[in-house]
Amino acid sequence: MFAEKVIELLKESERNPDTIDPFKDEKIRQILEEMQTLFIMNMNDANATTENKSLWTTVQVRHSALERNKRCLLAYLYSRMEKIKTLRWEFGSVLPPDVRELLSDDEYEWFSRYSTNLASYMRSLGQDIGYSGIDLTENLRPPKALYMEVVCTTDYGKLELSDGDVVMLRRNSRHFLPAAECQTLVRQGVLKQIV
Amino acid sequence: MSCSNYLSITDILVSHEKVPCKFFYDLPKMGFLDPSAVDDDLKAGTNTEIPLWLAESLHSRRPPLLSVDLPKIYKDAYREILNADACTVDLYKLGQHFYELGCYVAKYDIKGDVTNTLINTFKQRFRMLLTASASNDSIGSMQPLSGSERKFAAAAAVTENAISMWLQRGDCALKTANMVANHRKRKRAEMEMF
Amino acid sequence: MFIEDLRNDFYNVLLGNRVLLLVHYDVDAICTCKILQGLFKCDNISYTLVPVGGVAELKTAYEENNEEIKYVVLVNCGGTIDLVDILQPEEDVVFFVLDSHKPTDICNVYSDGQVRLVYKDIEENIPNFDDIFREDEDEEEEKHESGMEALEAAVERRREHRAWEERRHTLMFNYTQFSYYGKPSACVALELSWLVSRCGWVALWAGSVAAASHVALCARTPAQCLLDTDALHRRVASTQHANNDTSCRVVLEKDAWLPLYRWWSLEAALRHAPVIAPHMRLHTHAGAATLRQLLADMGFPLQQARQSYRSMDVELRHSVLSSLESCAPRHRLPVPSQAAFLLQRPHAPPQSAHDMVYAILALIEHVSQ
């Protein structure tokens, strides 16, 4: 049956809407091969239509199958693109290596270009009034207090604060730090806020 | 309901469902479309089930190559059951994409009853959605809901949780980002498997 | 050295700087830490909190966290050891020690500003500086004299030196031979919070739990406990006049000295009370009968006394204290009631500070993953 493999691809990616799967390079190649075969068969049959009018319907069917494959592939790549966009906002501009290997090379290049775009946009905000840009990825929720109490969940190492102080972040150590410094780390899961 | 967005994955999965149709023309070399056919060619007049996407695209050619019939869950027998009491029907078993497929199929219904049935069913099942979103026994109450109903119920549960937390604490603690947390969980699960 | 002015020399120094809080694992330290945390949060003082269990842990905690930290506050730890010697800090690091363990180490007392003790206990007999430390001037003077006088002078000086050393030895022996507890650190922290006008019911409750812990664990004699909590009584009395119906209040009431009787059944509480059980020999064979006799004298049906306290009749609950007091002389028990701190919360049963002490102890000792 036509277009079965693409559907499998899509079903797998729908199963985990919250994380991104590794890029299924092999499967995509197979699908492209299938499309190529269909196209060649269609070409042959289209040329043969002049003699046998009934082959025209077959050409229609194969053409629909080709369009269907194309649509599914595009949808797969688009959904991955949306997920990669979220990755930038959640993980920050540097991806940890185990996330990096889930993306294909082209996807990673897209990610870096998106990051650059975002950075130049953020820098340009408020330039007419004299600010050197606003970081949009922090304070995604309205902040409630200047300082917050956090406990560290992993051995992160040294964290340098903006006034030069160095804090040693070890597993299960508790700190009371300015919210602006800790926010990115809380979003990345290194620190956990205590209420 | 899902909009017919070209890139929407839900839409693609919906149009993968099979619908019964009848071919008007011969389709040489397409015998494999009908699992009960003997030879390579599909004869005109065969009744078989093909995926919706193929049916739609073949139906829209001029002249149309086939005519689409209603799938059995949208036919009279089931419509009677749904109009009587829609809450007892397990829509997940019947058809995961009940509403979306119904929207597509309603075009081919001459009498226009399918549309009314769809609207009625949703109205009756709305309360089930609300209970599923508020209840603690989430697996049991989500079981009879169709795919899109489950999504609505899950979203409702998330919103309700958020507002009750906000009312209690007056302010929300920062949380780890969604994708980061799920990524870590998956990694841990994978590592435990080895 | 000792700090004279809690507010200016201790709290105002910490404002605007980052602090390392090292806290010991006991009820008093936890209560003090709670009060200090409240104060730091109000004034946005960044801190790093590390619990320590012993001298080795103190060392590791200090070494891990001492980058760029100028002020270290030690709660219930570090008072009895020579801090500068053990931790080897840099020159400009200042230690504030709030320790209820006594005797305080001499080097900490006479340190020249690096180690500052937050509270001075009057009952400690700290030896004078001159009696302990003495500069060695002997070698210098010998060169200037010569002859017989020099020899005599030298002998005289050595005798004097030996006498001084013996005196020092006795003084130090007397000073360090016993170790005991001083005033609870939480009471000092409570004074501090009063001085900066941030003494709410949370701080009062923490102070009362710490005071109750010293009573419950018999860390101090009852007379001394009463003196310690003198300031606490005054504060609680002053807040009792404030008419605030909706929030929690700390009150001082006469309460039966049965730990956790509000959460267990009355019979279980009587069986485990340190005031009652040993006196009535409840551990012997005849103990069960004695207990039933006591309950009968108090007028409590056995079945009610065996249920959970909350499900007893209301009149019985109210009469626990009075009936216990009236029966006590008959069974030759000591006075089973005391003045205790209770936390009255809206829509919840009152909590006794004693019960909190045992609960916190259980949590400290429970090792969980």
Over residues A174-180, mean pLDDT: 86
Kindly report, residue by residue over C185-231, the tens digit of the pLDDT: 998 899 899 888 888 888 889 999 999 998 888 888 888 888 888 88
Residue B160 has pLDDT above 70, yes or no: yes
Q: Give the pairing type, strands B66-68 and C47-52.
A: unpaired
pTM: 0.76
- Please give the domain boundaries of chain B with CATH numbers for all domains: 18-69 (no CATH), 71-194 (1.20.58.2050)
Whole-number pLDDT of residue B25: 80
Each domain of chain C, given as residue ranges in start order, spans: 1-123+182-247, 136-143+153-179
- The DSSP code sequence of B74-133 is GSHHHHHHHHH-GGGS-HHHH-TTHHHHHHHHGGG-SS-HHHHHHHHHHHHHHHHHHHHH
Residues of chain A with CATH 1.20.58.1030: 4-123
**pLDDT above 70 as % of chain A:** 96
**C161 has a chain A CB within 8 A of its CB:** no
In sequence order, the 6+-apart residues with CB closer than 8 A to the CB of C13 are: C71, C94
Whole-number pLDDT of residue C146: 64
Whole-number pLDDT of residue A138: 77
Residue closest to C266 by CA, chosen among C287, C246, C226, C294:
C294
- The DSSP code sequence of A15-31 is H-SSS-PPP-HHHHHHH
Q: Which two tokens stand for residue A129?
A: 């009034």
Give the integer Cα–Cα distance in Å for A71 and A6: 10
The more confidently predicted of residues A178 and B108 is: A178
Residues of chain A with CATH 3.40.5: 147-193
Whole-number pLDDT of residue C136: 59
**Please, which residues 130-169 of chain A have a Cβ atom closer than 8 Å to chain C?**
146-147, 149, 158, 164-168
Residue closest to B84 by CA, chosen among B109, B120, B119, B115:
B120
Chain C neighbors of A168, CB-CB under 8 A? 64-65, 67
Type of residue at C35: I
Q: Say if CB C265 and CB C304 are below 8 A apart.
A: no
Q: Give the pairing type, strands C94-98 and B47-51.
A: unpaired
**A175 has a chain C CB within 8 A of its CB:** yes
Distance from CA of B158 to the nearest CA of A (A): 15
Kindly report, residue by residue over A82-118, the tens digit of the pLDDT: 888 988 888 878 888 888 888 888 889 999 999 999 9
Residue C141 has pLDDT above 60, yes or no: no
Least confident of A14-18, B73-77, C249-253: A14-18
Give the integer Cα–Cα distance in Å for C138 and C133: 14
Whole-number pLDDT of residue C369: 47
Q: Which two tokens stand for residue C229?
A: 């909590």
Give the integer Cα–Cα distance in Å for B46 and B43: 6
Q: Which of A176, A177, A182 to mutate to test the interface with C (most CBs of C within 10 A)?
A: A176
Class in CATH terms, A4-123 = mainly alpha
| ipTM field | 0.82
Q: Which of B183, B184, B188, B190 to mutate to test the interface with A (most CBs of A within 10 A)?
A: B183
Residue C60 has pLDDT above 70, yes or no: yes
Over residues B44-73, mean pLDDT: 83
Q: What is the Cβ-side half-sphere exposure of residue A82, based on CA atoms within 13 angstroms?
A: 11
Report CB contact under 8 Å: A72, B12.
yes
Kindly report, residue by residue over C307-334, the tens digit of the pLDDT: 888 888 888 888 888 888 888 888 888 8
Confidence of residue B2 (pLDDT cuts 50, 70, 90): very low
Type of residue at B72: K
- In our burial notation (b when 16+ CB lie closer than 10 A, e otherwise), range A155-171 reads ebeebebeeebebbbee
A and C: number of Cβ contacts within 8 A: 41
Over residues B116-131, mean pLDDT: 86
Type of residue at C304: Q
**Please, which residues 118-157 of chain A have a Cβ atom closer than 8 Å to chain B?**
141, 144, 148
Q: Would you call the peptide bond into B63 cis, given omega within 30 degrees of 0 as the criterion?
A: yes
Residue C138 has pLDDT above 70, yes or no: no
Question: Radius of gyration (Cα) for chain C, nearest Å?
Answer: 26
Report CB contact under 8 Å: B27, A61.
yes
Alpha helix positions (H), C217-276: 222-228, 230-241, 266-272
Phi, psi of A105 (to 5 degrees): -65, -40
Whole-number pLDDT of residue C135: 63
Least confident of A57-66, C69-78, C134-143: C134-143
Confidence of residue A51 (pLDDT cuts 50, 70, 90): low
In sequence order, the 6+-apart residues with CB closer than 8 A to the CB of C361 are: C27
The more confidently predicted of residues A133 and C28 is: C28
Residue closest to B113 by CA, chosen among B79, B67, B72, B71:
B79
Q: Which two tokens stand for residue B48?
A: 């078989």
Give the integer Cα–Cα distance in Å for C36 and C74: 11
Residue C132 has pLDDT above 70, yes or no: yes
Whole-number pLDDT of residue A112: 92
Give the integer Cα–Cα distance in Å for C31 and C184: 10
Compute the mean pLDDT over every residue in chain A, rounded to the nearest whole number.
83
Q: Say if CB A144 and CB A193 are below 8 A apart.
A: no
Instruction: Give the chains touching A; criterion: ≥3 Cβ pairs < 8 Å.
Output: B, C
Query: What Cα–Cα distance (Å) separates residue B20 from each residue in B10, B82, C58, C93, C107?
Result: 21, 21, 78, 84, 95
Residue closest to B21 by CA, chosen among B34, B8, B40, B5:
B34
CATH of C1-123+182-247, one of 3.40.50.300, 3.90.1640.10, 1.10.3720.10, 2.70.150.10: 3.90.1640.10
**pLDDT above 70 as % of chain C:** 94
Does the structural domain A147-193 have CATH classification 3.40.5?
yes
Give the integer Cα–Cα distance in Å for C23 and C55: 12
Whole-number pLDDT of residue B1: 39
**Cβ-nearest to A75 among B9, B28, B65:** B9
The more confidently predicted of residues B89 and C96 is: C96
Confidence of residue C112 (pLDDT cuts 50, 70, 90): confident
Over residues B33-49, mean pLDDT: 75
Q: Which two tokens stand for residue C157?
A: 């000086």
